[in-house]
Amino acid sequence: MNLQTYQKTKYLNTSSANVENILNILEKTGLLFHLEAYGTSSKRTRKSWKYYFATSSLKYALSSKIGNVSTNKEKYEGILIENIIDSKLHHLSMDNYKFSLFYDSDKKK
């Protein structure tokens, strides 16, 4: 179990298998999608997946409802813009375009 999974299980007070099952169901419903770390296959296996909402409006609505909207407007707008771009590219990759998406796991910010 990696650190991110451990933190999620501790926050939700549940098992890592249950967290993985919830994320899997949310992906199957199309509410979430994931990106793997860029690099070798062993690096993609070791690093956690990064999850994005299918639309940034869904992310905003859910964040607003549970009170997790960032007070730093510029930072939050950056998060929403990142989600918009990843969502659009994800939809293009699911169509007839032949490319894969990854995230930069070496990025410090």
In tens, the pLDDT along 48-64 reads 888 888 877 777 777 77
Read off the DSSP letter of residue 13: T
- 29: pLDDT strictly greater than 60: yes
Domain residue ranges in the chain: 31-103
- Is the pTM higher than 0.95? The answer reads no
- Check residue 74 and give its pLDDT: 77
- 108: pLDDT strictly greater than 70: no
- Check residue 68 and give its pLDDT: 63
- 2: pLDDT strictly greater than 70: no
* Beta strands, E only, the chain: 32-37, 50-53, 102-103
**Mean pLDDT of the chain, nearest integer:** 76
| C-alpha pair distances (Å), 15 with each of 8, 9, 46, 62 | 9, 6, 19, 23
Confidence class of residue 82 from pLDDT cuts 50, 70 and 90?
A: confident
Residue position matching structure tokens 């419903």: 29
